[in-house]
């Protein structure tokens, strides 16, 4: 890295000469072998100022330098393939490479993230601020300017890496630049005027968060949302169309019959009420007055709700679900092809002129040094062996295609002993063996289930009997201690019987462990009367979740739940980002609009009432509470976001205090929430249906513990690699490998077996589900690439 | 039919001797050919008392009689196959056959239906009755007894048809019998005591409706609901589990913090409130008091809602959707196999000993006479020809398997002329041709779309400008007349240009036609000031629906909507049946419980308030309206059903007046509604996803007008069939066919071409979707049946 950071050295980009590569003699010296593409993009020509040395030596050092460059570029290609970064953002020269490396590490990412968060959190302190966090205008404007300058720095690094042309073409970055520009000007204006103006543009601050490296999942979600939009909007139009028809019907016919005096007196009211009816939040209320006068008017509502709520809303879901399904598959396909292309790019950089049929371990090792710097020498070799399906010492392109599947494996020496206590003396062994058998027996398991069930019933009865007594008495209830003791003993038995490593390798055991631990902490809290930790005690009922292990469907459901969790979190974050935008806009428009007793002239006066009057000698507070749903600061505005549309009181309350156009805000908010929610539902549906289909298809292989590969390496191989490492004088690697040789010598083995293991990802499942289709994709891709290359060679 | 209705003739069941059929000489006389199975199940042996006649003649008549029997049984088999009736209910002898025929015609079905409806509607008149419809106890009890006696008669017919053994084994019929027994006793008790007692069993009256022939779709839905129940209940338990955990948390922790004084003071309240929270009807209300005291308590609600509402409820949907998908496919498969078996049964009855390789037209015609009595002779022959794929005069079993697909075709002579006006004189032809070209042009279509759009905007603006003016003025607005004239002209042009038959063959044109007709009727109503028909006027905006024809997705959606309609209706009926049960139960328990100002001591006093007080000199009525949600008669109880759970006011109101156990009623009601609703959603989802997959798979064949078959018949063939009919002296058929010959002679043709057409059903689509799998099913079925037959023959 340090090499190419030196900007004084002139850098020239040379084109590759792969066309002539096959003509090179195959029996050339291994040490002097040249990369197939001369140093890829970052070829360095040493000028006269480079340290004078023997010609041969200079050439050799240059070759090694070239190789290092190639390794690095190949690693970058592979990373791009993994992260689904497009190749047109691939750094094109050494200067770009330096910027790329600077901008692609966790420190930089963290800086990005913290800047974005700082900008978002500033809304807490800017007027109208959360009272506790109010900051002076000078302070928060300076903070903002500082954060924006950091963003400018980030963007300049990006421009350096991408080059001006690509930078301009990269849409997301351009949007970010524009937003940055606007924010900059506004921040300066605030600083100069020393007063905040209406800044709806603050809602755009989200883009800084979305652009963060760590928010890739959010970007993916947003892309998916935008892709689902066209069909969604089509159906939404249908929905609105029926709404308009019913609004006209409601206004013309039903109002004429003088029934809906307040709800349907104008077309606008009619529309708004039908819209709110879609959320069912005003349901019987909107219907009761008309129903009181003419029972048949309920037909209007029933037909409306059947068409809109039960038919078209489901249609929305169906369309989104279908689009989602389709997009998921296409995304999977494009990702797969992208990875394949990345592998091809990397492969071309790693083969030599002398041996164009595959990658030797030396070069593979060089690649991994850049791709996964933390990997130890043993794992590198095992990965190489796992990839290499043929008996030759080279990894062919076909083998190399499995790179991503294999590189994630965690390698461990296969234990010869079955249990952790096999090496212990006879007596201890027998005891532990007994415990092991006991712990693994069905009887033990079902006893524990019974205990959990009894515990559950106990808690229920206890809670029921309590009826308002003080649960948190200073005396710890004896049942608590008894059950905790049983769980503790179980934990102890399992840990000793299975060994801590095996015990904690199962997610369910981990769950048991943490719940028991929490229960113990709760006991401590009770015993030492530490009030703030009381909440731990109430987590006890979670122990009951263990019962769901009993049935396969629940295991499936809970497993899927855990698998879905990261994706759900990212979807939640996406929703929060939308909420943030709406919160800012709401705050700018409606801050200070709603307060206790604000709406006494409107129809929702009750909901906002706050009266403090005296009956007899007691002070009675009549509260409508809805005044709490205000937009007075970002937290309230945000909180409001999460439930604003479930009640039309807020809508009416705010509308009665402002203009009718504020209804638009609530409607748009509801629709956006609906879009995201529908996509969340479609996502959950898709995930579960996929899972269920998968289990149905693979009923035979019931319990799978992820992907496992077994590889054997002999002593000679290890010694061979040590030689190799010695030649490039890599001391740590040599030491690591020598340890293995020592181990083998100790046990008198001629070879050692290693197990590579990783958990199954969604991609693996999809690979298995679409097995046949993938073959077709490959074939098509093959033909396409061949056609393109023939075109390029002027054969067509 | 009259033959076997004669019960005096002794009937003996003979076993078939098909084993020896192949040994019969193949060149036997056509007239004397014997059925392969001697008269199937209903073989008649004429005893000595039969009219004395020549031996030959008697034998011939007996053979013909046997054949008639076979035709009838084959037709019954095919009907059973079509209706998915199990074969164990197949009538086993002539007495059973008579009962079967008696119980299988529309008159009997109508009787069944009307009895069931009468029994259901009686609830309107029984105390607590709808005031207008109240009947004396003597009257309604007598009516009930009468209806029950009719049901007894129906059941006795069914017993006669099924036989006692099968009757006992038929679950649905047994349940019906038990319910009938209970109802009978209760009706007599009411009649004797002259006063109604608590009769929750009236809820069981639904079973009479469900058992009706016409309610087959409802039965199918119920079956599907019950099949979806096991996975549904699993997930429901998960839901309840989390609810209990949160209830305990809410009661223990949050009540302790003294926050939820009213909502979470006991475990029961805690549970009920969380349950209602699931319907989101009490959402911000239940949270606001705690939020007012401690903003962080909203975390409790957010976590609860995320887990329960957004995760587990969707999970419910996913599980039901998956099960539904699976069930649909299995149902389709079993139906297909059932039909196949039915065809095999029928085939075996129709082949002769002499020619066991296929069915001749004579026998096929005999079958159709029973299977579709209304089919004319020409259609019978065309169906035969459409089935017959080989050049032989016999329909083989393989051909016969297509029976159900072919028998539904409507046959029409293929017109040689393209338009209806081709035969008109030159001038008229040119005029009509011009209109035809105009009507079919894109310009015309888009002009009409523009007109519709303008009309839509006009209506909107008009309604908006109205703002409370009297829309139904005596003067008909001129815009109405203008637009109606345009539509009228369009209708006229299209009818003349395309011909009425072609015009009305398209569903969209039919829609246009009826909307225009309604608009015209509305105009009449306005012009002649007929108030009750004003509602027709407001249907005008429906014209706008035409705009949706423009986009393919909408066409798809609306087509699917129409396709779904019958199924949706049956699902709606199923839901209504559930509502009926709950309405009866609710009425028995809660009649008279809720009334104005009933709940002044409870938390929901406002919703039930009805105060009539004077402010100044005006009388102000303050209404809470919720007292209207009562159970005082079946209609209210029913109406309540549809929205009871969307507001917890009703729940609280009723609970405050009765015991806490009444909450259980509301909860069960909500859960049942949820089940049915989830299934409806799953059904809609499934239908749309299926449709979208189908269109994606068949993108090339964009517009399909159903299934079309073309068959040519020559003059000789027709004459041959006439001979055949003459021999069996069927005068009407002969006349029909001779008309065709005359027609051919008139145009000097030697043959005529006929087109068979029917609309595509879901089954056809499924056939196409599962094409490959169906082949596998056939193969497996073939092997299975061969194995069974070899087993039967003792070869294994």
**Helix (H), strand (E), coil (C) string for B666-698:** HHHHHHHHHHHHHHHHHHHHHHHHHHHHHHHHC
In a shared domain, residues B88 and B148: yes
Judged by CB atoms closer than 8 Å, whether chains meet at A626 and B288 is answered as: yes
Average pLDDT over residues B490-509: 82
CB-based contact B680 A310, cutoff 8 Å = yes
CA distance B135 to chain A (A): 22
Indicate whether A352 belongs to any domain.
yes
A94 and A165, same domain (yes or no): yes
Residue in A253, A295, A646 closest to B284 by CB: A646
Which of A518, A650, A677, A685 is the mutation pick for testing B, counting most B CBs within 10 A? A685
Last residue of a domain, one of B213, B243, B276: B213
Q: Do B463 and A251 lie within an 8 Å CB cutoff?
A: yes
Same domain, B150 and B164: yes
A656 is in which domain, residue-wise?
A: 560-698
In angstroms, rounded to a whole number, what is the distance separating the alpha carbons of residues A489 and A374? 39
Is residue A46 in some structural domain? Answer: no
Question: How many A-B residue pairs are in contact by the CB < 8 A criterion?
Answer: 210
Is there a single domain that holds both residue A567 and residue A659?
yes
Q: Which of these, A107, A103, A77, A87, lies nearest to A159 by C-alpha position?
A: A103
Percent helix, percent strand, percent coil in chain B, to nearest 5 = 70, 5, 25
Q: Is A752 helix (H, G, I), strand (E, B) or coil?
A: strand
H or E element at residue B618 = strand B618-623
Mean pLDDT score, A141-148 = 89
Residues of B in contact with A545 (CB under 8 A): 241
Residues of A with CB below 8 A from B245's CB?
Answer: 541-542, 544
Task: Please give the mean pLDDT across all residues of chain B.
Answer: 75
CATH of the domain at B253: 1.10.287.70
Digit-coded pLDDT (tens) for A580-598: 888 888 777 776 666 555 5
* Nearby residues of A492 by Cβ (< 8 Å), 6 or more positions away: none
Specify if A156 maps to a domain: yes
Stretch among A609-613, B85-89, B455-459, B775-779 having the lowest mean pLDDT: A609-613
Q: Which of A318, A321, A579, A629 to mutate to test the interface with B (most CBs of B within 10 A)?
A: A318
| CA distance to A463, B252, B265, B297, per residue, from A467 (Å) | 7, 10, 7, 21
Residues of A in contact with B628 (CB under 8 A): 288, 291-292
Q: Rounded to an integer, what distance in angstroms lies between the CA atom of residue B56 and that of residue A38?
A: 105
Residue bearing tokens 């689904």 = A84
Cβ pair A314:B472 closer than 8 A = no
- Going by C-beta distance under 8 Å and a sequence separation of 6 or more, which residues neighbour residue A223? none
Q: Could you tell me if A94 and A191 lie in one domain?
A: yes
For residue A463, give the nearest of B267, B466, B538 by CB distance.
B267
Give percent above pLDDT 70 in chain A.
74
- Min Cα separation B768/chain A (Å): 20
Please tell me which of A17-26, A83-92, B410-419, B473-482 the model is most confident about, judged by mean pLDDT: A83-92
Instruction: Reply yes or no on whether the pLDDT at B719 is more than 80.
Output: yes
Nearest Cα to Cα of residue B358 among B389, B385, B397: B397
Residue-level pLDDT at A510: 84
Burial A279-292 (b: 16+ CB within 10 A, else e): bbbbbbbbbbbbbe
For residues B481-493, give the mean pLDDT: 87
Residues of B in contact with A266 (CB under 8 A): 467-468
CB B755 within 8 A of CB B411: yes
Cβ atoms of A350 and A363 within 8 Å: the answer is yes
Q: Are residues A584 and A479 in the same domain?
A: no
Cβ of A315 within 8 Å of Cβ of B557? The answer is yes
Q: What is the spatial distance between Cα A321 and Cα A681, in angstroms, rounded to a whole number? A: 8
- Candidate from A13-17, A717-721, B783-787 with smallest mean pLDDT: A13-17
pLDDT tens for each residue of B123-154: 887 777 777 777 788 888 888 899 999 999 99
Residues A132 and A226 in one domain: no
Residue A444 has pLDDT above 70, yes or no: yes
* B689 interaction partners in chain A (CB closer than 8 Å): 318, 321-322, 325
Average of pLDDT values for A432-443?
Answer: 86
d(CA A121, CA A195): 19
Whether B710 maps to a domain, the answer reads yes
Task: Kindly report the backbone phi and psi dihedral angles of residue A632, in degrees, each rounded to the nearest multiple of 5, phi listed first.
Answer: -70, -20
Residue-wise DSSP of B379-417:
HHHHHHHHH--SSSSSB-HHHHTTHHHHHTPEEEEPPSS
Shortest alpha-carbon distance between residue A706 and chain B (Å) = 24
- Label residues A718-743 b or e (16+ Cβ within 10 Å = b): beebbebbeeeebeebbebbeebeee
CB A338 within 8 A of CB A84: yes
Q: What is the DSSP letter of B714?
A: E
pLDDT value at residue B285:
65
Which DSSP letter does residue B711 get? E
B757 — pLDDT class (breaks 50, 70, 90): confident
Q: Is A553 in Cβ contact with B234 (below 8 Å)?
A: yes
Question: How many domains in chain A?
Answer: 5
Please report the pLDDT score of residue A89 as a whole number: 78
Are A684 and B459 inside 8 Å of each other by CB? no
Q: Which residue has the tokens 């002044």?
A: B600
Residue of A nearest to B690 (CA): A322
Interface test with A, best of B237, B289, B538 (most A CBs within 10 A): B538
Chain B residues whose beta carbon lies within 8 Å of the beta carbon of residue A572: 306
| Separation of alpha carbons A670 and B704, rounded Å | 39
Helix (H, G, I), strand (E, B) or coil at B742: helix
Question: What local confidence, expressed as pLDDT, does residue B539 receive?
Answer: 67
pLDDT score at B658: 63
Among A643, A646, A681, most B C-beta atoms within 10 A, so best to mutate, is: A643
pLDDT at B17: 35
CA distances from B290 to A637, A742, B271, B293 (A): 18, 67, 17, 5
* Nearest-angstrom CA–CA distance, A91 and B4: 92
Give the pLDDT score at B281.
Answer: 64
Q: Is B684 within 8 Å of A311 when comparing Cβ atoms?
A: yes
Residues in contact with B363: Cβ distance below 8 Å, sequence separation at least 6, in sequence order = B67, B70, B71, B350, B351, B352
Please give the torsion angle defined by the CA atoms of residues A298, A299, A300 and A306, in that order, rounded to the nearest 10 degrees: 110
Contact B291 A688 (CB under 8 A): no
**In 3-state terms, what secondary structure has residue B452?**
helix
Q: Residue A53's pLDDT is what?
A: 41
Q: What is the DSSP string of B32-83?
A: T--BSSTTTT--B---TTSPP--HHHHHHHHHHHHHHHHHHHHHHHHHHHHH
Q: Do both A102 and A150 map to the same domain?
A: yes
Whether residue A178 lies inside any domain: the answer is yes
The answer on A147 and A192 residing in a single domain is yes
Which chain A residue has the Cα nearest residue B572? Answer: A306
DSSP label at residue A760: P
Distance of CA A272 to the CA centre of its chain: 37
pTM above 0.90, yes or no: no
Measured distance CA(A426)–CA(A442) in Å, rounded: 26
Q: Taking CB atoms and an 8 Å limit, are B643 and A287 in contact across chains?
A: yes
B447-468 average pLDDT score: 78
Q: Are B412 and B358 contained in the same domain? A: yes
Q: What band does B496 get if pLDDT is binned at 50, 70 and 90?
A: confident
A252 with B626: Cβ contact below 8 A: no
Task: Please classify residue B117 by burial: count the beta carbons closer than 10 Å to its beta carbon, then call 0-12 exposed, 13-18 middle and 19+ buried.
Answer: middle
Q: Which of B698, B722, B751 is the C-terminal boundary of a domain?
A: B698
Task: Check residues B753 and A659 and name the one with the higher pLDDT.
Answer: B753
Q: Is B615 exposed, middle or buried (0-12, 13-18, 19+ CB in 10 A)?
A: exposed
Asked whether the beta carbons of B683 and B567 are under 8 A apart, the reply is yes
8 Å CB contact of A470 and B280:
no
* Contact flag B288-A231 (C-beta cutoff 8 Å): no
Span between the terminal Cα atoms of chain A, in Å: 42
Minimal C-alpha gap between B770 and chain A (Å): 17
In a domain, A775, yes or no: no
Binned at pLDDT 50, 70 and 90, residue A257 comes out as low
Domain end among B672, B698, B724: B698
- A314 and A249 share a domain? yes
Q: Do A648 and A630 form a contact (C-beta atoms < 8 A)?
A: no
**DSSP states of A617-644:** TEEEEEE--GGGS--SSHHHHHHHHHHG
Is the bond preceding A389 in cis, omega lying within 30 degrees of 0?
A: no
Q: Give contacts of B292 with chain A, Cβ < 8 Å.
A: 623, 625, 628
Nearest to B684 among A298, A314, A468 (CB): A314
Q: Would you call B471 and A256 a contact, using CB atoms and an 8 Å cutoff?
A: yes
CB < 8 Å to B649, chain A = 284
Which residues from chain B sit within 8 angstroms of residue A285, using beta carbons? 625
Alpha carbons B76 and B370: distance in angstroms, whole number: 8
Phi, psi values for residue A614, rounded to 5°: -105, 120
How far is the C-alpha of B420 from the C-alpha of A119, rounded, in Å? Answer: 74
Q: Where are the beta strands (DSSP E) in B704-786?
A: 707-714, 751-758
Whether A252 and A312 share a structural domain = yes
The ipTM estimated for the assembled molecules is: 0.74
Per-residue model confidence as pLDDT tens digits over A395-421: 888 888 888 888 888 887 776 666 777
CB-CB: which of B283, B643, B693 is closest to A646?
B283
Residues of A in contact with B315 (CB under 8 A): 557, 684, 688
Q: Is the CB of A553 less than 8 angstroms away from the CB of B628?
A: no
* A689 CA: distance to closest CA in chain B (Å): 6
Q: How far apart are alpha carbons A504 and A495 in whole angstroms?
A: 8
């Amino acid at each position: 890295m340090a090499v190419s950071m030196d900007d004084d050295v002139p850098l020239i980009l040379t084109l590759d000469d792969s066309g002539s590569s096959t003509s090179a003699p195959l029996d050339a010296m291994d040490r002097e072998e040249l990369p197939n593409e001369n140093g890829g993009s970052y070829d360095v020509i040493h000028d006269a100022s480079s340290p004078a040395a023997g010609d041969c030596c200079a050439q050799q050092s240059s070759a090694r330098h070239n190789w290092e460059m190639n390794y690095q570029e190949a690693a970058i290609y592979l990373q791009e393939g993994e992260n689904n970064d497009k190749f047109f953002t691939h750094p094109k020269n050494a200067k770009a490479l330096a910027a790329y490396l600077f901008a692609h590490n966790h420190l930089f990412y963290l800086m990005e993230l913290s800047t974005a968060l700082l900008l978002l959190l500033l809304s807490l302190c800017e007027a109208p601020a959360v009272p506790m966090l109010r900051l002076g205008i000078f302070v928060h404007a300076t903070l903002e300017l500082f954060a924006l300058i950091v963003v400018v720095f980030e963007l300049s690094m990006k421009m350096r890496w991408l080059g001006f042309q690509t930078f301009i073409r990269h849409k997301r970055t351009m949007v970010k630049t524009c937003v940055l520009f606007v924010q900059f000007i506004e921040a300066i204006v605030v600083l100069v005027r020393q007063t905040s103006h209406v800044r709806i543009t603050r809602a755009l601050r989200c883009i800084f968060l979305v652009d963060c490296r760590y928010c890739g999942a959010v970007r993916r979600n947003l892309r998916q949302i935008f892709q689902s939009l066209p069909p969604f909007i089509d159906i939404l139009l249908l929905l609105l169309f029926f709404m308009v028809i019913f609004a006209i019907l409601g206004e013309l016919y039903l109002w004429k019959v003088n029934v809906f005096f307040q709800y349907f007196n104008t077309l606008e009211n009619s529309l708004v009420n039908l819209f709110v009816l879609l959320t069912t939040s005003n349901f019987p209320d909107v219907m009761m007055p008309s129903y009181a006068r003419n029972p048949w008017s309920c037909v209007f509502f029933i037909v409306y709700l059947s068409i809109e709520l039960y038919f078209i809303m489901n249609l929305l879901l169906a369309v989104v679900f279908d689009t989602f399904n389709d997009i998921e598959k296409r995304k999977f396909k494009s990702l797969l092809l992208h990875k394949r292309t990345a592998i091809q790019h990397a492969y071309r950089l790693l083969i030599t002129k002398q041996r164009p049929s595959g990658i030797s371990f030396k070069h593979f090792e060089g690649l991994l040094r850049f791709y996964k710097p933390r990997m130890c020498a043993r794992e590198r070799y095992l990965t190489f062996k796992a990839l290499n399906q043929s008996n030759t010492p080279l990894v062919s392109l076909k083998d190399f295609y499995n790179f991503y599947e294999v590189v994630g494996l965690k390698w461990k020496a296969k234990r010869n002993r079955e249990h952790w206590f096999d090496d212990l003396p006879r007596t201890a062994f027998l005891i532990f063996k007994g415990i092991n058998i006991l712990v693994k027996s069905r009887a033990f398991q079902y006893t524990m289930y019974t205990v959990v069930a009894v515990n559950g019933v106990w808690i229920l009865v206890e809670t029921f009997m309590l009826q308002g007594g003080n649960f948190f008495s200073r005396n710890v209830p004896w049942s608590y201690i008894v059950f905790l003791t049983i769980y503790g003993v179980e934990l102890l038995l399992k840990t000793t019987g299975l060994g801590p490593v095996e015990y904690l390798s199962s997610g369910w055991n981990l769950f048991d462990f943490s719940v028991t631990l929490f229960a113990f902490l709760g006991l401590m809290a009770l015993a030492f009367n530490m009030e703030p930790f009381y909440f731990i005690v109430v987590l006890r009922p979670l122990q009951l979740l263990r019962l769901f292990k009993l049935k396969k469907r629940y295991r499936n459901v809970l497993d899927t739940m855990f698998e879905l969790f990261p994706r759900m979190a990212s979807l939640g974050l996406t929703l929060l980002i939308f909420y943030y935008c709406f919160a800012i806009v709401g705050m700018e428009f409606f801050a200070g609009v709603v307060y206790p007793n604000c709406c006494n002239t409107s129809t929702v006066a009750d909901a906002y009432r706050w009266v403090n009057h005296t009956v007899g000698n007691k002070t009675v507070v009549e509260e409508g509470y809805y005044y709490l749903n205000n937009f007075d600061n970002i937290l309230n505005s945000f909180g409001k976001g999460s439930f604003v549309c479930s009640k039309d009181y807020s809508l009416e309350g705010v509308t009665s205090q402002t203009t009718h156009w504020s209804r638009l805000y609530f409607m748009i908010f509801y629709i956006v929430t609906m879009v995201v929610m529908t996509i969340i539902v479609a996502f959950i549906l898709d995930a579960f249906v996929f899972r269920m289909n998968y289990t149905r298809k693979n009923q035979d292989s019931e319990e799978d513990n992820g992907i496992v590969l077994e590889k054997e390496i002999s002593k000679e191989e290890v010694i061979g690699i040590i030689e190799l490492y010695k030649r490039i004088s890599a001391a740590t690697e040599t030491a690591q490998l020598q340890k293995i040789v020592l181990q083998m010598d100790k046990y008198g083995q001629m070879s050692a077996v290693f197990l590579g293991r990783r958990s199954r990802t969604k991609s693996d499942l999809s690979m298995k589900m679409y097995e046949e289709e993938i073959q077709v994709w490959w074939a098509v891709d093959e033909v396409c690439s061949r056609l393109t290359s023939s075109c390029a060679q002027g054969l067509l």
